[in-house]
Structures are given as structure tokens and as C-alpha cells.
Amino acid sequence: MKKYLLLVLIVLALFTIDHPLIKEPRDKFLQQGVDTLGETSQTQYSLAAKQARHEIARELELSASEQEYLLDVLATDKKVKMFHVRYCQEHELNLYFFGPKLNTICDAAEKAIKKAEF
């Protein structure tokens, strides 16, 4: 019981002390946790984005940089819609994808958007 009480006191001290040696790492750690939780909740509620990424991964063999790019630009439903409008409807130049790969990605994004009923 004493060890538990001591642990609680140490944790409280770490969260209430504003000394620069403690505050800066604590703030970085908390921000990292908030960012991770935010990304997780966006992914859970982004049905179209999840479906589009899954469909693309199933149909195309992508390099690591291409996968990272797609993960970023198809992170949320809104981003999927923006990607589709920009590169599929308006035919802007995409630095990562063109030709058949872009057509496959556009088809997957369009199907996902229709399923999510934007």
C-alpha cells in the first residue's frame, strides 16, 4: 500500500511540476499521445478512406514511399474526396502516380466515396 501511495505521489508530482527539465519532455509525451489518439479516431470514422486504402493495397504493388504517400493523402474521407476531385476529375499532375496506377486508385476512391455516400 505504501508503494502504491508513493507511486501516486510521484505521478502527481511529475504532472504538476513546471520545471523545464520535467515540463518539456512531459509536454512532448502528452502531445504525442494526443496525436496518436486523434489519428486513431479519424481512421475509425473514415470508412471511405479505409475502404479505398484496402482496395488499392489489394490491387496494386506499391513501394514504401508510395504507400506512405497514400496513407497520408487518403487518411480521412474528406481527403479521399479531395484527392478524387483533384487528380481524377480535374486531372492534375500527381508526382507519385500516373497512368494505370492512377486509374486504379481513382476507381477505388470513387467506389469508396459512393459506398460512404458523400
- How large a percentage of the chain has pLDDT more than 70? 92
Positive or negative, the Cα torsion across 26, 32, 36, 41? positive
- Asked if residue 23 belongs to a domain, the reply is no
Q: Is the pLDDT of residue 45 over 70?
A: no
- The answer to whether residue 29 is domain-embedded is no
Q: Do the domain assignments include residue 16?
A: no
- Establish if 52 belongs to a structural domain: yes
In a domain, 56, yes or no: yes
User: Does the pLDDT of residue 38 top 70, yes or no?
Assistant: no
Average pLDDT of the chain is 84
Report d(CA 51, CA 111) in Å as an integer. Answer: 9
DSSP helix/strand/coil, 90: coil
Instruction: Evaluate whether residue 18 is within a structural domain.
Output: no
Residues of the domain holding 83: 47-117
In a domain, 32, yes or no: no
Structurally, the chain folds into a number of domains equal to 1
Inform me whether the pLDDT recorded for 118 exceeds 60: no
Indicate the pLDDT class of residue 23, thresholds 50, 70 and 90. confident
Closest by alpha carbon to 91, among 74, 113, 106? 106
